Amino acid sequence: MKLNDKTIASMRLAKVFRENTDCVNCIDFAHNGENMISSSSDDSIVLYCCMEGKPKRTLYSKKYGCDLLQYTHAPNAIIYSSNKIDDQIRYLSLYDNKFLRYFPGHTKRVVSLRMSPIDDTFISASLDKTIRLWDLRSPNCQGLMHLSSRPVVSYDPEGLIFGVGLDSKQIKLYDLRSFDKGPFSTFFIRPDIGKLEWTSMKFSPDGKSIILSTSGPVIKLVDAFQGNELHNLNGRVNTNELMLEASFTPDSQYVISGAENGLVHMWAVDDGRKVAILDGGHPGASRCIQFNPRYMMMATACNNVGFWLPSIED
């Protein structure tokens, strides 16, 4: 089955999981698409089996809390940021629930955490206005950048470049092999009315475009090569300035996002048109949303986690 307007608009909630007692902060699919993890403000990390459509295991991080998380390239290990005690990043084995390493350095909350798509390095950005580059094999920071404001960061799909969003008005692109020499390209993005803050940044899987999710209803779609603003994707409700995730579908043809009222919005990348607005019955804001990288399914989360499947065959 291929994604098109008809199939993506036919996505329907297939299963709802009520494993959490507080809002889900982050979700991430394993690279093979067979499993998914979620973190919650109730200090739990839940592992889901996508093939069987059920939760497999719940781990707890009651001392440190858990905020952002990412699968590493090992199917049974993750990294995650804390929201209690300190702002360290932790490397956790899901197999035996043991910490493999700690990554100290940030002095305020981590707001972006991205694993490299090609190796065991990762990047983090914090409210302390720094970006740190790490290697899973060492607790020491491999690179440090001091910036003028809260940054958002993301790797390109080839893992050779990382982008930094700054001041909610410029994107800087760095070569990982020579990032200390400064950005090789800088794009200036027209600021929005109301001074919306950029809350996340993602490259499309084909590397051609970038989405910038904001603290308001707007998602900005930008050309990754020239920095041209392609479309403003509007319509989602976000009056309380929540950090609502926006994601690309694996074919890079659609952008999906949740909303404060629990709805799910879908836009076409080519012309920015709204393809669908779906209601999965989320009682709270649908903060997290991602499409499975290998299988025709989507996941959304408020306090509950929902798995979505297409309701038609194409």
Instruction: Tell me the pLDDT tens digit for each residue of 212-225.
Output: 999 999 999 999 99
Task: With a cut of 80, say whether residue 313 has pLDDT above it.
Answer: no
> pLDDT tens across 108-155, in order?
999 999 999 999 999 999 999 999 999 999 999 999 999 988 999 999
Indicate the average pLDDT of the chain.
93
Q: What is the DSSP string of 58-89?
A: EEE-TTT----EEE-SSTTEEEEE-SSS---E
pTM of the model: 0.93
Task: With a cut of 90, say whether residue 173 has pLDDT above it.
Answer: yes
**In the chain, what are the domain boundaries?**
5-310
120 versus 84: which is more confidently predicted?
A: 120
| Topology of domain 5-310, CATH | Methylamine Dehydrogenase; Chain H (2.130.10)
> pLDDT tens across 248-280, in order?
999 999 999 999 999 999 999 999 999 999 998
Maximum C-alpha span of the chain: 51
Q: How confident is the model at residue 287 (pLDDT cuts 50, 70, 90)?
A: very high
Of residues 261, 253, 212, 214, the one with CA closest to residue 237 = 261
Contact 170, 187 (CB under 8 A): yes
Provide the pLDDT for residue 314: 46
Helix (H) or strand (E) holding 7: helix 5-9
Contact 180, 143 (CB under 8 A): yes
Contact 164, 153 (CB under 8 A): yes
Provide the pLDDT for residue 213: 95
Q: How confident is the model at residue 229 (pLDDT cuts 50, 70, 90)?
A: very high
What is the percentage of the chain residues whose pLDDT exceeds 90? Answer: 86
> pLDDT tens across 41-81, in order?
999 999 999 999 999 999 998 888 899 999 999 989 999 99
How many angstroms separate the CA atoms of 258 and 244, rounded?
A: 6
